[in-house]
Amino acid sequence: MKAINYLAFASMLILGVAGCRKDLLETTPYNAVSSNSIWTSSNLATLAVNGIYNTLLENSGEDYQNSVSQGNYLGLDAHTLSALDPTVSPRSNWSSTHKLLLGNASSADNIFSVAWRQLYEGISRANDVIDNIESVPDMAPELCAQYKAEAKFLRAYFYYRLNCYFRGVPLYLESTPVKEYTKPRNSEAEVWEVVINDLTDVINEPAIPGKYEAGDPNYGRATKGAAYALRGKAYLWTKEYANAEADFKKVGELGFSLFQGEYKQLFKEKNEQCPEMVFSIQCYEKNTYGNQMSFKYGSRVTSGSCWNDFYGDADFIDTYETVEGKPFSWDDFIPGYSSMTPVARSVYFLRDGLNSGEGNFGSANYKSLKSKMSDYGSDFSKYLDQGNEARIRAVYENRDPRLMQTYITPYSEYLGSPKGIEYTYTLRWPFVQNDISEPFDLRSDSSKYLYYLVRKFVSEGNELLYREYSPIDVPVIRYADVLLSLAEALNEQGKTNDAIPYVNMVRARAGVALLNSNSYTTVAGQDDLRNRIRREKRWELACEGSLYFEELRWGTWYDSKLFEGSGLKQCWGETSVSWTRNGDYYTKWPVPATERQLNTALTQNEGWID
């Protein structure tokens, strides 16, 4: 299992797969063994191939310490459906993620230079393999063909990410010394053409299988299914919807399908190789070779005492419909809620017993908490001394089940293990600290605020040995995404009725009403279905780091994330940090200032200043 990662780790040790200019563009994948020596042995060449995969997992350094790197999945999700609170987290100084949201980003920020450097590092490694693998004297022809195709798949993936970010980058399609990285930018269309051509070569290569079954030692390598899925995504960018439709349909024909268990269980280690995972980053419990999602999403009572740097976006959480498909409205559950000020309606989120002092840790403490909340501005005329918790909990319980399986909502439970002993905690407010006895309030780094916490990818009980490196594979492309992308491709061609069943496959697994099953879910035409597909993708793919690219492609990022009044908010809607909608040029990343200094042929994206 996960042989790629083991061999990739070995390749790092044997070949020294680190760039010689760590502070700038890493484009030389090998410096301990000469390139000529690598291609004299099949074993060494295999390690070189695994070194390309290793680029998917390497430490991103300045931005997310020891985390899965390509695209910085945690940071990318913060640009859509979650957020790091720079006023709370003492660690916010190591991330420039929120500068795009705060409106003060510059081309010198690490978020841009790290992505550029690492993606080109992967491209350089891939080019090295593509140019030299056929010269290895003791490598079987079929294995040589497989490895060359895998390198093309990964090169296409890296260029895909670069093009989503920067919309046109220099194309290097052969091994190139660092000093010769002097090309100007190619157009966005030219980069998409290379991505599509590389993936077409992968699809046409007989040595590449359609998919690998769970337990296969090659699981995690490129497959035709992954190539079709990624090429389909590229076709969505180029608006070639008929081609995208054909590609997404091929993924299902090759044996990929939805996981049919509970949505929450899809993100557990035991199901990480289920047929839904079209392409995933292989992780295991070794420093820098696991993912950090549990660490950065988890709370202080998560095994290992995690940091919960990221929180659920309150405005996004309000978009989750009821199980029947009815749009959510606070007033349907708490009449008059929306007409109150956010501070006043915080009363609905208070724990029971604040009036009577009938709690499990002393009446004096309850009186103190009530005094603090009264001073804050909670409207105690609306308070239920016994039943306040049940009233707010009911707001979330009849919603799309993915809501409570993705986020920890007020007064829901979470199985934690702060000191190796499992306890069931509840997210209550105001918070009372006592990790190992009643009342077992869920403790986080932001306990003086009431934010939505993340449940998805977070270990429960004693599932995880080490907080910093979870062994759960990181999904890059899931079949649910493929189905919703197929529905989009069909709908954009005007085949709205044909698209609906594919959306319903995802909704059926989630446990919500199917489209066209009642008045709430009746599709009113192409525009209506387009919006429904986009919402469905957000609910289905939350906290996985892939939605940022979709929002950029749809042109909806400003409207969904940076609308007027947006920001990091407590559960009742009070804003802790406001987001700033800057010029439209923010939807294209700037070419990093360091790269423009090294290569004067690189032009800057409009609006950005070095």
Report the amino acid identity of residue 71.
G
| Residue 14 DSSP class | H
Query: Peptide bond before 342: cis, by omega within 30 degrees of 0?
Result: no
pLDDT at 547: 95
pLDDT at 193: 98
Three-state secondary structure call for residue 102 = helix
What the block records as the tokens of 525 is: 């035409």
Distance, CA of 345 to CA of 355 (rounded, Å): 17
- Nearest CA among 36, 47, 62 for reference residue 14: 47
Distance, CA of 259 to CA of 272 (rounded, Å): 10
When comparing pLDDT for 361 and 495, which is higher? 495
Sign of the Cα torsion 108, 110, 112, 118 reads positive
Task: Tell me the mean pLDDT in the region 235-245.
Answer: 98
Per domain, the residue ranges of the chain are: 3-208+261-292
Confidence of residue 153 (pLDDT cuts 50, 70, 90): very high
Is the pLDDT reported for residue 123 higher than 60?
yes
pLDDT at 364: 72
Is the pLDDT reported for residue 12 higher than 50?
no
Sign of the Cα torsion 4, 6, 7, 10 reads positive
Residue 203 has a CB neighbour count (10 Å cut-off) of: 20
Please state, for a pLDDT cut of 70, what percent of the chain lies above it.
Answer: 88
Is the pLDDT reported for residue 60 higher than 90?
no
pTM: 0.93
Tens digit of pLDDT for each residue in 519-554? Answer: 999 999 999 999 999 999 999 999 998 999 999 999
pLDDT at 377: 96
pLDDT at 58: 63
Q: Which CATH class is domain 3-208+261-292?
A: mainly alpha
Average pLDDT value over all residues in the chain: 89
pLDDT at 72: 59
